[in-house]
Structure 1
Amino acid sequence: MVAGKRQRGAGSPLDGGWGWVIVGCCFMVTVCTRAVTRCVSIFFVEFQAHFGADYAATAWVHSLVDCTTMLFAPVGSLVGNRWSCRVAVMLGGLLSSCGLLLSSFSSRLEFLYLSMGVLTGVGFALCYTPAITMVGCYFRQRKALAYGIAMSGSGIGTFVLAPVVQLLIELYSWRGALLVLSAFVANLCVCGALLRPIKPHKDEEWAEGEGKESSFTIEKVAATAASTVEKPRPSAAEEVVLSSCFLSFKEYRFLLLPDFLGMAVSFLFLATGCSLPFIYLVPYALSVGVCHQHAAFLMSILGVIDIMGNITFGWLTDRRCLKPYRLACYVFSVAMEGLCCLFVPLLQSFPLLVPFAILYGYFDGAYVALIPVVTSDLVGPQYLSSALGVVYFLHAIPYLISPPIGGWLVDVTGSYMATFFLSGAAMVLSSLILSIVSGIRRCQRRVSAVAEDTKHEPLPTIASDQSECFMAVAS
């Protein structure tokens, strides 16, 4: 009996133990992927001056890194599901390190599109989603806090790497800085080696009933769709091929949920606006007379406050009073981030840009930490890997086109006002869409619950009333 219990506990999420090592590995993965991607904006002026390109052409480097990372996020989920998250992260670390190494020898801007934009982006994609998924496998009760700590690597990495990268550029030029970043990103292989696989038991229930309604809805819709068509029994030779197809179908059942579809639309607008400030904050600060060191320091401020947003929102939304309102907290943080961007054109000095960096960084850390949490709450832990792959995939096209559009607006208007207005409006619209969809779905659930209660009213009461009437007439 004791041995059986030990065996069961060894395979179940522990909310601690080796789970904190997984959190540390995911932390380093976010440092090496998202923080390095943010620091590409520091190379913006260097690339523009060396290659003699305009804003729009130079912005394609950053947008391709972001786009490829998100576009290939489902591939990272697929590799993690088919083999293991360890294999995915180690392979991604090797590819991304090679991409930065090749970028340091680039002689044309188009070569940077391939080496840094595509190769490094594919490597980041193979690392990012599997590492985040592993945290959800090891944590249930303290999931939001674990994600907050893990995702804070983006902010801490930005805080540390921004001035370091600026110093490396001044000492060794942008080529030497990329060589150092290539060696740093190679640490992803070490992080991947520490990702110990875990296989929770199928009969294990989610903590505090979390995700039961979503799981039931997914299973019910999938069962209904399967029962409507009567299919002939496949032969033994065909069963092997069909099993892999059905496995893929089962992994993406959550796509049938209306709540997930509404969230997917809001993610498209969020991704359109959220990347622009990280690309154009430093060039905008330089354009209003802020020196290079202070402009890079703005990114550091944004990064360190990002950490506070990650951890504090993760801790707060794990509290019992706020746990049912995680989605509302996410919507609020996105809306506040959009409002901050709308006021950027009024801030034309370093002391005025500091409050923007503080507020934007805090709410950016808040919503980034809550994305995997609200996704897990919606689809359930068993679909988290595939769902995160789809969620980050939806960021791909906006990440690709929004930076060049922002650069084109700068080239046309001669100022950054339209670019930051685009960023703020997109994020405010994202929060509004998700609020409206959530409100409509909540009303529909209430109507359905009332109708279900009315449908199942106890009939014995009516029958007893009728019998009493007959007895009265008879008497």
Structure 2
Amino acid sequence: MAHRSKVPLREAPDGGWGWMVVISCFLLTVCTRAVSRCLSIFFVEFQNYFAQDYAMTAWVHSTVDCTTMVFGCGYALAYSPSIATVGKYFNNKKAMAYGLAMSGSGIGTFVLAPVVQLLIEEYSWRGALLILGGLVANICVCGALLRPLSLAEDLSISNTSSVASRNSSEECTHKSQHEDPALPCHSVDSNSTRKDCVKRKLCNCCPSYKEYAFLLTPDFLVFAVSLLFLAYGCSTPFVHLVPYAVSAGISQQQAAFLMSILGIVDIVGNISFGWLTDRRCLKKYRKYLYILTIGLDGLSSLFIPILRSFPLLVPYAVFYGYFDGAYVALIPVVTSDIAGNAFLSSALGIVYFIHGIPYLIGPPIAGWLVDTTGSYTAAFLVSGLSMTFSSILVISIDWIKKCRNSADIQTTVIESDPSTFQTASDNQI
């Protein structure tokens, strides 16, 4: 490993050791996301061995996915930092780098799905899990390839934040000597004094609030809500596709092969959309491509209940897998566009944390719907509608930003020339 320079770089290198980071992230996604996807192949084995219904059996898969996405627990200790590190090393080639890195999920699924089925048949589900555990242990090797990168942008923001934090703390300390810290803000009449009161309380309770200031922006809040519906919708097919195919009379080997097809096409979606969205003519449309991919994935899930044979489920696996790979590669890019590259690590932690709750409750809810209705129709319809609604929410981000910019312009005009507001009020009267 080359010696790490202590001098911060002016901009992301778009290569160099960054490609080793991409390889590390690729292998990490194989050992985490691909392995967790292949747990759906164990679904029927768990259900038969433990004699449980669909809802109870689905908790096994959903718990793994949840702990992966709740930042700081389970797979998340390796998964989230590796993705954030890729974003630090690339700027102009960011979408392409993410496409290659995230394709590990598809390639891993393609290779592991039939292998896991063979391992179950040869060594039972216990032996298969033991072998997968040995594979997952290789994330320790992958972690050794991740090297933090110091950028001038990060240093500038860090210095600005520390100076602002120090000034705010001094101001808070000064005000606290003359004012009652417990004084409620609603009891203050002056607008400027009220702002000082809020600022003082912010300083007291959260000195590093600037690092997470993006959480309070309307566009990120809407994006976060959309992720809740996306995570719920996308979790159902990966957990219930194999048992649905088996219930439709398809053999266990063919059902596992559907996961392989989904995985290999997922790779094409990862890489092709990563390459496409790095083109200069398409960079400004990355968010709209993200919306398109989610909407098409949701639409395809609505048709699953009428696909009752292997030849019909193969096109679904191709279609769903391609657009799943596309939006997975675009999530970090869109997050960076909304929150800013300097806050990418914190933003990705929040984004994947948001995925955790739907991943935990989504598959059991779908299983409960199967137990209650006796079919998979309701489960896949809710999944498809959830993803479609997620894409609609992201569309509304532009409208919210326009409204906010219009309000900011109006506020600026009034503050610079108060007579403008008075004239407008007189005209209305």
| TM-score grouping bracket, smaller chain normalisation | 0.7 to 0.9
Q: Distance in 2 between matches of 1:178 and 1:247?
A: 45
Distance 2:203 2:28 in 1: 33
Residue among 157, 164, 174 paired with 2:115: 164
Q: Please show how residues 390-405 of structure 1 align to structure 2 within 5 Å.
A: 390-405=350-365
Q: CA deviation at 1:246?
A: 5.4
Contact kept in structure 2, 1:11 and 1:199, CA below 8 Å: no
2:50 is matched with: 51
The 8 Å contact of residues 23 and 146 in structure 1, kept in 2 or not, is answered as yes
Partner of 2:277: 317
- What is aligned with 1:37? 36
User: 1:232 corresponds to which residue?
Assistant: 173
Out of 226-235 and 141-150, give the one that drifted further: 226-235
For residue 69 of structure 1, what is the aligned residue in structure 2?
Answer: 68
* C-alpha contact (below 8 Å) 2:8/2:155 kept by paired residues: no
2:304 pairs with 1:344: yes
Give the distance between the partners of 2:169 and 2:148, measured in 1 at CA: 37
User: Could you say what secondary structure the match of 2:400 adopts?
Assistant: helix
Shift of 1:310: 0.6
Q: Which runs of 5+ in 2 are unaligned?
A: 178-201, 418-429
* Aligned positions of 1:28-427 closer than 5 A: 28-71=27-70, 73=71, 75=72, 122-202=73-153, 230-232=171-173, 248-427=208-387
* Cα distance in 1 between the residues matched to 2:320 and 2:276: 19
Would the alpha carbon gap of residues 416 and 14 (structure 1) be closer, same or farther in structure 2, given more than 3 Å must change?
A: same
Structure 1: distance between partners of 2:278 and 2:342: 20
Q: Distance in 1 between matches of 2:105 and 2:311?
A: 24
Q: Is the 8 A contact 2:172 2:203 kept in 1?
A: no
Contact 2:9 2:150 in 1 (8 A): no
Q: TM-score of the superposition, structure 1-length normalised?
A: 0.75
1:370 CA displacement: 0.6
Does structure 1 retain, via aligned residues, the 8 Å contact 2:226–2:391? Answer: yes
Letter aligned with residue 37 of structure 2: R
CA distance in 2, matches of 1:154, 1:279: 15
Whether the aligned pair in 1 keeps the contact of 2:7 and 2:150 (CA below 8 Å) is no
Cα distance in structure 2, aligned partners of 1:301 and 1:334: 19
Q: Is the 8 A contact 2:248 2:309 kept in 1?
A: yes
For each residue in 1:405-443, what CA deviation from the matched residue of structure 2 results, as whole angstroms up to 9, or x when unmatched?
111111111110000001001000111111123223235
Cα distance in 2 between the residues matched to 1:245 and 1:32: 39
Is the alpha carbon distance of 1:243 and 1:199 closer, same or farther for their aligned partners in structure 2, counting shifts above 3 Å?
Answer: farther
Identity %: 61
Query: Does the 8 A contact of 1:302 with 1:360 survive in 2?
Result: yes
Whether the aligned pair in 2 keeps the contact of 1:12 and 1:198 (CA below 8 Å) is no
Paired positions, count: 384
Task: Report the aligned-residue RMSD.
Answer: 3.0
Give the deviation of 1:397 after TM superposition: 1.2
Unaligned 5+ runs, structure 1 = 1-5, 76-121, 206-214, 236-241, 458-475
- Residues 361-407 of structure 1, C-alpha deviations (whole Å, 9 max, x = no match): 01100111111101111111221111111111111111111111111
Deviation at 1:265, TM superposition (A): 0.7
Find the counterpart in structure 1 of residue 426 from structure 2: none
The match for 2:199 is none
Q: Could you state the TM-score of these two structures normalised by the residue count of structure 2? A: 0.83
* Cα deviation, residue 123, structure 1: 2.5
| Contact map agreement 1:334 1:363 (CA 8 A) in 2 | yes
Amino acid across the alignment from 1:419: A
- Give the Cα separation in 2 of the matches to 1:229 and 1:394: 35
Question: What is the alpha-carbon distance in structure 2 between the residues aligned to residue 249 and residue 344 of structure 1?
Answer: 45
Measure, in 2, the Cα distance between the counterparts of 1:203 and 1:197: 12
1:366/1:249 Cα in 2 relative to 1: closer, same or farther (>3 Å)? same
Question: Which AA in structure 2 matches 1:24?
Answer: I
CA contact (8 A) 2:67 2:74 kept: no
Question: 2:14–2:91: 8 Å Cα contact kept in structure 1?
Answer: yes
Contact persistence 1:331–1:435 (CA under 8 A)? yes
Query: How far is the alpha carbon of 1:248 from its aligned partner?
Result: 4.0
